[in-house]
Structure 1
Amino acid sequence: MEHEPGDDVIVVGGGVVGLTTAVVLAESGRRVRVWAREPAERTTSAVAGALWWPYRIEPKPLVGAWALESLAVYEELAGRPGETGVRLVDGLCAGVRLGELGEWAGRVPGLRTESGGLAARLPLIDMPVHLTWLRERLARAGGSVEEREVTDLAGVPAGVVVNCTGLGARSLVPDPAVRPVRGQLVVVANPGITTWYTSAGPASAASTYFFPQPGGLVLGGTAEEDAWSLEPDPATASAIVARCAAVRPEIAGARILAHRVGLRPVRDTVRLERRPLPDGRTLVHNYGHGGAGVTVAWGCAREAAGLAGPAA
């Protein structure tokens, strides 16, 4: 049975930000449905390497708080890695100095300067498992996920509409300020690497990173501004493997398992705000998280839930 428009929330968008926001809303007592254009397994979130780290996201003063709030949740979830997909894994951010980062960095447990960069034990999330877990947690709280295409936010029949459409907001809102930054990854059979590694200039189109995930070693990456192609480029893939092998030579001969491409929804600043719909109902925007949707998901979800207001 359809709910009356005034008594429930529909979250538009089924990636990590949409599902996390729906969970927070449902667990606060709201009746919540997620309308997603495609299954979570086909979203940008599913492609993410998913190391907790504020990457390509603004504004920095707000991002730190959102990220730390999310970090606390992931540290708790890491106690059940098989169920939640979250593990705490050691690694190195090469070429980064503590003084270059915001105040948030001083509150990350164990983040320390080591030869070549910053070392830390951080959440690394196996996204297919985590997205499934979020859906199941939402269902336990009474929420549901439906595959529905939305072409008009004002036409969504709920008292509160929460827009978590990521790059889709470019045409749906419409908001030309949100744009794609293309990321290409290569997944290889892990030759025995147990730690993560990243080396990425904030403005560079090429980066070097590897993340040991249960399904293989994820190699990256790229950050190509305003690039829309979802087709993996063979030359780019070869270059990614070569950069990673320069750090860990055993990667050079690893068997390739998969190629992945995702489009990060980058915006000059995350859009997290409440707006009235033409008929007086509430619209909450929560999109534009760039390369850090996983990193800030819980902090942004709680703020979005607050903007949605209390259950009637």
Structure 2
Amino acid sequence: MAEDRSGDVIVVGSGVIGLTTAFVLAGSGRRVRIWTREPAERTTSAVAGALWWPYAVEPQDLARAWALHSLSVYEELAERPDETGVRMVEGVMGGALLDEQGAWAAARLPGLRASTAQEYAGPGLWARLPLIDMPVHLGWLRTRFLRAGGVVEARTVTDLAEARAEAGTVVNCTGIGARELVGDAAVRAVRGQLVVVENPGVRTWVVSTDAVAGTTTYLFPQPGGLVLGGTTEADSWSLTADPSVAAGIVERCAVLRPEVAGARVIGHRVGLRPVRSAVRLERDASAGGAGGGVLVHNYGHGGAGVTVAWGCAEVVLGLVP
């Protein structure tokens, strides 16, 4: 007799969204498998900076709720930074104003204040936020998922019917891959390039947006080096680092922190953010065809996947039988 798989869950994708979702589902007692074309360390998530901040993700009200739930989780994980990769680090969000943040910011971010002229040349906010070392965090998520009884399988999925034939519930966490996998033309690649240098002593992070030039410049001190960014190149699919772009990133970062000029380059990172006009987080009511069962979508988080991952995973938990 064939084994009954109707109670199984298959999560397709192993970036931060897929891993977090799978971990939360496995923690609830469900039998969960991850199908992934590539290991977590080779996903876009592994390339991320990655600073918690609810920005550039829609729908705004829901995304804020997802972000605040994730913040609570990260605050707890930051008590074990070496294990989880999460640290609470202070820095400046350049261009942000206190009176534009809403009541949630003052309530949830103790010490939030306007930055001083010594901290940042212009208006900005001084905040203490989660800064995540993504390779470590993804490894921690995978280990915890496996300990919870989960299974990771190397599978290249070209049709979700493959997964639906083997499990009663399938959760689509394929990020940029959803554009082809489910034919969602609303998903666009926004290329991000980073440079990692030896840290010359920078201990706080800084994010600076130039609306005129259309650039966002940031420095994130991570245990393995200082991460410098970045780019937002819409509809660019190249995963090859551009030397001239890298030089421009270092130059912009050196304006903010002069000690960065001349720092030895350790490496380059390139990733494709899965940007969508709004996150698709829903149970697919039209998925009653081949395979049957339940299909849930959880993709289109753009550059905010880390920020909303845990909140979105909780929503998925409520959508899965």
Q: TM-score, normalised by structure 1?
A: 0.95
* 1:194 equivalent in alignment to 2:203: yes
Q: Distance in 1 between matches of 2:182 and 2:148?
A: 29
Q: Out of 228, 231, 234, which is 1:222 matched to? A: 231
Count of residue pairs brought into register by the alignment: 308
* 1:295 equivalent in alignment to 2:307: yes
Q: Distance in 2 between matches of 1:77 and 1:274?
A: 29
Alignment of 1:266-281 (within 5 A): 266-275=275-284, 276-278=287-289, 279-281=291-293
SS of 1:99's equivalent in the other structure is helix
Counterpart residue number, 1:96: 96
SS of 1:222's equivalent in the other structure is coil
Alignment of 1:127-276 (within 5 A): 127-156=134-163, 157-200=166-209, 205-275=214-284, 276=287
Counterpart residue number, 2:115: 114
1:165-198 deviation line (CA, Å, top 9, x unaligned): 0000000011000111111100000001110000
Q: Does 109-118 or 83-92 show the bigger shift?
A: 109-118
Counterpart residue number, 1:123: 130
Letter in 1 for 2:309: A
Counterpart residue number, 2:120: none
5+ long unaligned stretches in structure 1: none
1:9-33 deviation line (CA, Å, top 9, x unaligned): 0000000000000010001110000
SS of 1:128's equivalent in the other structure is helix
SS of 2:93's equivalent in the other structure is strand
Q: Distance in 1 between matches of 2:170 and 2:80?
A: 32
Compared CA separation, residues 3 and 232, structure 1 to 2 (3 A): farther
* 1:283 equivalent in alignment to 2:295: yes
Q: Distance in 2 between matches of 1:280 and 1:153?
A: 11
SS of 2:6's equivalent in the other structure is helix
SS of 2:303's equivalent in the other structure is coil
**Offset, 1:200:** 2.2
SS of 1:291's equivalent in the other structure is helix
Compared CA separation, residues 205 and 5, structure 1 to 2 (3 A): farther
Is the CA contact 1:54–1:67 (under 8 Å) kept in the aligned structure 2? yes
Q: Distance in 2 between matches of 1:230 and 1:132?
A: 22
Q: TM-score, normalised by structure 2?
A: 0.93
**Offset, 1:146:** 1.2
**Offset, 1:277:** 3.5
Q: Distance in 1 between matches of 2:103 and 2:155?
A: 41
**Offset, 1:99:** 3.2
Is the CA contact 1:37–1:148 (under 8 Å) kept in the aligned structure 2? yes
**Offset, 1:305:** 1.3
1:104-133 deviation line (CA, Å, top 9, x unaligned): 423332222223301111110011110010
Counterpart residue number, 1:62: 62
Is the CA contact 2:168–2:292 (under 8 Å) kept in the aligned structure 1? no
SS of 1:261's equivalent in the other structure is strand
Compared CA separation, residues 81 and 239, structure 1 to 2 (3 A): same
Identity %: 67
SS of 1:5's equivalent in the other structure is coil
**Offset, 1:235:** 1.1
5+ long unaligned stretches in structure 2: 117-122
Is the CA contact 2:282–2:298 (under 8 Å) kept in the aligned structure 1? yes
Q: Distance in 1 between matches of 2:303 and 2:183?
A: 21
* 1:40 equivalent in alignment to 2:37: no
Letter in 2 for 1:182: R
